[in-house]
Amino acid sequence: MTGGGFAAAEGGHARDDYGGGVTVSVVVTCLMAASCGLIFGYDIGVSGGVTQMESFLAKFFPEVSSGTKDAKHDAYCKYDDQRLTAFTSSLYIAAMLSSLVASRVTRTVGRQAVMLMGGVLFLLGSAINAGAVNVAMLILGRMLLGFGVGFTTQAAPLYLAETSPARWRGAFTAAYSIFQVLGALAATVTNYLTNRVPGWGWRVSLGLAAVPAAIVVLGALLVPDTPSSLVLRGDADGARASLQRLRGPGAETDAELKDIVRAVERARRDDEGAYGRLCAKGYGHYLVMVVAIPSFFDLTGVIVMAVFSPVLFRTVGFSSQKAIFGSVILSLVNLASSLLSSFVLDRAGRRFLFIVGGAAMMICQLAMSCILAGHLGKQNAVTMPRDYAVAVLVLMCLYTFSFGVSWGPLKWVVPSEIYPVEIRSAAQALTVSIALCLSFAQTQVFVSLLCAMKHAIFLFYAGWVLVMTAFIAAFLPETKGVPLEAMRAVWAGHWYWRRFVRDAKQEVQVNCM
């Protein structure tokens, strides 16, 4: 063992290093599971581009189409239509509902089966959207896409956290975020190409969502379930074989399996009432994080910027094609920053990236608000001077880069690793559901807020970024390199939370640390 030990919750010893290296098996398995991020990313990338395509608007939302061509129309209000935003937001409400169901299903059939179900649902939704002839069909397809997203976002990050070695868990779990960015990049490039196709280019953009869905289905068919999930469902032999394949020769798989079994036995004793347990004494710190992390993530404004970036670019004066090209640039920046984050995440630590990224995001939002206040909407201006429009693009790139190395991957990494096994599925489901519920609310009202608040919308988000960065600095403990089975010790050693969670067994853990 290369360092001190952690006493497990039930009196054993959870190790900080079980030996073995990064095997081909664990890399391939985690990449296949992380590919679930493709479908969420593709949807984020495709929906914003499609909603400003003239052919799409003319067919389904002719009032919006005519408004975008009206020179007297307020620049901030060109796309203010509740039916149009419902096309985007309906996915998130469906995803929220399905993620809650996925928690219980995951404990019964395993993480791998839930990822497979999510991929199939997304595949069906993409087919309906591609063939839509009215708004009702669009909404139905979007809701099926949402069910698929809800299942996969609940299962995939937990799969990655439970499968990857503790030393590199951050990098492996961040792979979900990287695939999400790859999906968004693929969607924006698709939009850029199909926007030139008159009449039906939007059908190609929506229909090609079947490609990442097929990749997810294939990946879910090929990967085994996680050792923790197998033990939870009574297959200890399968869990041992899975660990041996993942960790490779030289790893102390028996020791790791014992720690997993010990943690799962504790979870099984408390199997019922996982949601209620989050409100019980000794679990309050987990409940705070269940609410705080997804809430702060959405209040960065990144979801609406990612979804509506083409609309924002159209607002400041870009043509339709240039607006989508701007989104392609943002996706490339996001990909580069996500790749960088995967290399530094397990070295710099979670808290450092949260704080530095949050500070940079806040500065960019303040600068964007100042530029929009000075050069858009004043004296009935409906577009911005070219140099200032380019400055907005640059600032959005800097914002996206800051987000991509911090909150982007960490929003998936931290919740997947901080919860004990007895509440892990329930807590992850609530985390995802809260995030999706807020995403639904924001995507539904953002265009109206942009119309009402104008440049001050970015001041609103900057204020929340300040609050969340201060919260992380004060209340989130560092979790890099800590085995999942020993995570309780981190909370027991925190300056604030220890007064609520420390007990005799956790005191032993702190001393071992």
Per-residue pLDDT tens over the stretch 458-506: 899 999 999 999 999 999 999 888 887 778 888 888 899 988 774 434 4
C-alpha pair distances (Å), 395 with each of 287, 316, 348, 373: 35, 13, 25, 15
Q: How many CB atoms lie within 10 A of CB 323?
A: 26
Q: Note the pLDDT of residue 377.
A: 53
Is residue 3's pLDDT more than 80? no
d(CA 159, CA 33): 7
If one compares 78 and 146, the residue with the highest pLDDT of the two is: 146
Question: What value does the mean pLDDT take over residues 446-467?
Answer: 86
Q: Which CATH architecture has domain 24-223+272-511?
A: Up-down Bundle (1.20)
How far is Cα 144 from Cα 121, in angstroms, rounded to an integer? 6
The mean pLDDT value for 96-113 works out to 81
Confidence of residue 134 (pLDDT cuts 50, 70, 90): very high
Give the mean model confidence (pLDDT) for residues 144-153: 90
Tokens representing 10 are: 């039930």
pLDDT for 355 beyond 70: yes
426 CB-near residues (< 8 Å, 6+ apart): 103, 274, 275, 277, 278
Tokens of 45: 């990338």
Helix, strand, or coil (residue 15): strand
Give residue 353's pLDDT. 93
Percentage of the residues of the chain whose pLDDT score is greater than 90: 21
pLDDT-based confidence at 175, cuts 50/70/90?
Answer: confident
Which residue bears the tokens 């959207």? 129
Mean pLDDT of 292-309: 81
3-state secondary structure of 7: strand
Spatial contact of 67 and 215, defined as CB atoms under 8 Å apart: no
Which pLDDT does position 431 carry in this prediction?
Answer: 86
Residue 16 has pLDDT above 80, yes or no: no
- The secondary structure element, H or E, covering residue 6 is strand 5-7
Q: What angle do CA 461, 467, 469 make, to 5 degrees?
A: 100
Instruction: Enumerate the domain spans of the chain.
Output: 24-223+272-511
Lowest pLDDT segment from 8-22, 146-160, 173-187, 284-298:
8-22
244 or 122: which carries more pLDDT confidence?
122
Torsion of CA 89, 156, 344, 400, to 10 degrees: -10
Residue type, 380: N
Geometric angle at alpha carbon 340, from 338 and 342, rounded to 5°: 70
183-195 average pLDDT score: 89
User: Residue 155: its pLDDT value, please?
Assistant: 83
Could you give the dihedral angle defined by the CA atoms of residues 284, 285, 286 and 292, in that order, rounded to the nearest 10 degrees?
110
Name the residue among 200, 57, 206, 56 with its Cα closest to residue 145.
Answer: 206
What pLDDT, on a 0 to 100 scale, did the predictor assign at position 124?
Answer: 95
The pLDDT-based confidence of 259 (bands split at 50, 70, 90) is: confident
Most confident of 124-133, 342-351, 389-398: 124-133
pLDDT at 70: 59
Question: Where is pLDDT greater, at 21 or 300?
Answer: 300
Distance CA 431, CA 467 (A): 19
Give the residue among 6, 1, 3 at the shortest CA–CA distance from 262. Answer: 6
The dihedrals phi and psi of 272, each to the nearest 5 degrees, come to -85, 145
When pLDDT is averaged across residues 240-250 and rounded to a whole number, the result is 77
The DSSP call for residue 11 is S
More confident residue, 302 or 98: 98
Q: Are the C-beta atoms of residues 1 and 191 closer than 8 Å to each other?
A: no
Q: Residue 362: is it exposed, middle or buried by C-beta count within 10 angstroms (0-12/13-18/19+)?
A: buried
Over residues 373-393, mean pLDDT? 69
Q: How far is Cα 294 from Cα 415, in angstroms, rounded to an integer?
A: 9
Per the model's pLDDT, the better-predicted residue between 311 and 205 turns out to be 205
Asked whether 207 and 125 are in contact (CB, 8 A), the reply is no
Give yes or no for residue 81 having a pLDDT over 90: no
Q: Tokens representing 341?
A: 């984050």
Residue 467 in tokens: 């609050």
DSSP strand pairing (5-7 vs 13-15) = antiparallel
Which residue did the predictor score with more confidence, 57 or 72?
Answer: 57
pLDDT bracket for residue 268 (50, 70, 90): low
pLDDT of residue 68: 64
Report which of 430, 425, 359, 366 is spatially closest to residue 392, judged by C-alpha positions. 366
Q: Are 509 and 6 in contact (CB under 8 A)?
A: yes
- Stated as kind and residue range, the H or E segment containing 14 is strand 13-15
pLDDT exceeds 70 at position 376: no
**What element of type H or E holds 508?**
helix 504-512
For the chain, count helices (H), then strands (E).
25, 2
